[in-house]
Amino acid sequence: MSWIVLIVSGVLEAVWATALGKSDGLTKLWPSVVFVVALTISMVGLAWAMRDISTGTAYAVWVGIGAALTVLYAMVFGGEPASLVKILLILGLVGCIVGLKLVDGGH
């Protein structure tokens, strides 16, 4: 269950990072609200998952999921240029996340 919570928290990291970018320095109401709510839930989920998953692994997986999804979202919807190199690097990041899950022994 901790891994599911961690993955959802990583997805929410991408949500809050994207909302923060759209909030124009926290001056736009709804992106700012989404940012605060997603950030709070994401952090609580990360903390909860860290009860069973080692801190280094949990944090790296959380950040990796958030970073990969944020870049993918920006390439698909945000006008960030996509390239083969970027896609390969994201796939490498995902591979590292999977690898961390496979070798994690917990606490």
CA 97 to chain centre: 11
Residue given tokens 């124009």 in the structure block: 24
The predicted model scores a pTM of 0.90
Give the model confidence (pLDDT) of 16-69 as tens digits: 999 999 999 999 999 999 999 999 999 999 999 999 999 999 999 999 999 999
pLDDT tier at 104 (50, 70, 90 boundaries)? confident
- Residue 60's domain comprises 2-103
Q: Domains in the chain: how many in total?
A: 1
Number of H helices, E strands in the chain: 4, 0
Q: How far is CA 10 from CA 38, 67, 80, 81, 87, in A?
A: 10, 9, 21, 23, 19
End-to-end C-alpha distance for the chain, whole angstroms: 15
| Residue 101: per-residue pLDDT | 86
Give the model confidence (pLDDT) of 61-97 as tens digits: 999 999 999 999 999 998 899 999 999 999 999 999 9
Determine the Cα–Cα distance for residues 66 and 84; give it in Å rounded to an integer.
20
